[in-house]
Structure 1
Amino acid sequence: MSSVDEIVLPAPADFHVHVRQGPMCDLVVPHVSQGGIRTAYVMPNLIPPLTTTDAVIEYRNHLQNLDPKTQWLMTLYLHPDVTPDEIRKASKAGISGVKSYPRGVTTNSSSGIEDYTVYYPVFRAMEEEGMVLNLHGEVPSDPDQNISILNAEKHFLTHLRKLAHNFPKLRIVLEHATTSEAISTVLELPSNVACTITAHHLYLTIDTVAPQPHHFCKPLAKEPKDRKALQEAIKSGNPKFFLGSDSAPHPTTSKAPGLVEGGEPSPCAAGVYTSPILVPLVATLLESFGALERLEGYVSSHGRRFYNVPPERGQELKLKRVKGQKVPSILRGEGTEVVPFWAGKDLDWEIVE
Structure 2
Amino acid sequence: MANLFDNLEMPAAADFHVHLRDGPMMEAVTPTIRQGGVDTVFVMPNLVPPLTTVQAVLDYKKRLQAIEPNVNYLMSLYLHPSITPDTIREADEAGIAGVKSYPAGVTTNSSSGVVDYESFYPVFAAMEEADMVLNLHGEAPPSSPTNTDPTQQVTILNAEETFLPTLKSLHERFPKLRIILEHCTTAAAVNAVRQCGPNVAGTITAHHLFLTIDDWAGDPINFCKPVAKLPSDRVALLKAATSGDPKFFFGSDSAPHLLSAKKGLSDGGLGAGKCAAGVFTQPNVVGFVLEALEGAVQLGIAKKEDLSQEKVEGFLGGHGRKFYGVPESSANIRVKAEGVNVQNVRVGGAGNSEGGMSETVVTFRSGKPTYAVESV
Do both proteins adopt the same fold according to a TM-score greater than 0.5, normalized to the shorter chain? Answer: yes
Q: Distance in 1 between matches of 2:103 and 2:137?
A: 7
Q: Pairwise mapping of residues 38-77 of structure 1 onto structure 2 (< 5 A)? A: 38-77=39-78
Equivalent in the alignment of 1:326: 341
**What SS does the aligned partner of 1:133 have?**
strand
Q: What is the CA distance between 1:257 and its match in structure 2?
A: 3.8
Q: Distance in 1 between matches of 2:319 and 2:35?
A: 22
Establish whether residue 159 from structure 1 lines up as the match of residue 160 from structure 2: no
**What SS does the aligned partner of 2:279 have?**
coil
Residues 53-73 of structure 1 deviation map (CA, whole Å, 9 limit, x = unaligned): 000000001101111000111
Q: Distance in 1 between matches of 2:25 and 2:277?
A: 16
Equivalent in the alignment of 2:20: 19
- The runs of 5 or more residues in structure 2 that have no matched partner are 298-305, 350-357
Q: What is the CA distance between 1:52 and its match in structure 2?
A: 0.4
Equivalent in the alignment of 1:303: 320
**What SS does the aligned partner of 1:242 have?**
strand
**What SS does the aligned partner of 2:193 have?**
helix
Q: Pairwise mapping of residues 140-155 of structure 1 onto structure 2 (< 5 A)? A: 140-142=141-143, 144=147, 145-155=152-162
**What SS does the aligned partner of 1:309 have?**
coil
Equivalent in the alignment of 1:174: 181
Q: What is the CA distance between 1:2 and its match in structure 2?
A: 6.8
Cα gap change, 1:132 to 1:4, in 2 (>3 Å): closer
Q: Distance in 2 between matches of 1:329 and 1:251?
A: 11
**What SS does the aligned partner of 1:48 have?**
coil
**Partners of 2:37 and 2:373 within 8 A in 1:** no
Q: Distance in 2 between matches of 1:119 and 1:4?
A: 45
- The runs of 5 or more residues in structure 1 that have no matched partner are none
**What SS does the aligned partner of 2:265 have?**
coil
Residues 103-142 of structure 1 deviation map (CA, whole Å, 9 limit, x = unaligned): 0000000000111111111111111111100000001111
Q: Distance in 1 between matches of 2:61 and 2:359?
A: 22
Which letter does structure 1 place at the counterpart of 2:16? F
Residues 72-120 of structure 1 deviation map (CA, whole Å, 9 limit, x = unaligned): 1100000011100000000100100000000000000000011111111
Give the total of aligned pairs: 348
Equivalent in the alignment of 1:347: 370
**Partners of 2:180 and 2:201 within 8 A in 1:** yes
RMSD, aligned α-carbons: 1.8
**Partners of 2:45 and 2:76 within 8 A in 1:** yes
Q: Distance in 1 between matches of 2:252 and 2:266?
A: 30
**What SS does the aligned partner of 1:187 have?**
helix
Structure 2 residue aligned with 1:186, among 190, 193, 201?
193
Establish whether residue 277 from structure 1 lines up as the match of residue 284 from structure 2: yes
**Partners of 1:2 and 1:292 within 8 A in 2:** no
Q: Distance in 2 between matches of 1:188 and 1:321?
A: 38
Which letter does structure 1 place at the counterpart of 2:370? L
Cα gap change, 1:44 to 1:265, in 2 (>3 Å): closer
**Partners of 1:180 and 1:229 within 8 A in 2:** yes
**Partners of 1:103 and 1:113 within 8 A in 2:** yes
| 4+ aligned runs moved over 4 Å, structure 1 | 1-4
Equivalent in the alignment of 1:244: 251
Q: Pairwise mapping of residues 195-206 of structure 1 onto structure 2 (< 5 A)? A: 195-206=202-213
Q: What is the CA distance between 1:292 and its match in structure 2?
A: 3.6
Residues 279-313 of structure 1 deviation map (CA, whole Å, 9 limit, x = unaligned): 11111111111354332111110100111111242
Q: Distance in 2 between matches of 1:348 and 1:60?
A: 30
Equivalent in the alignment of 2:10: 9
**What SS does the aligned partner of 1:5 have?**
coil
Which letter does structure 2 place at the counterpart of 1:326? N
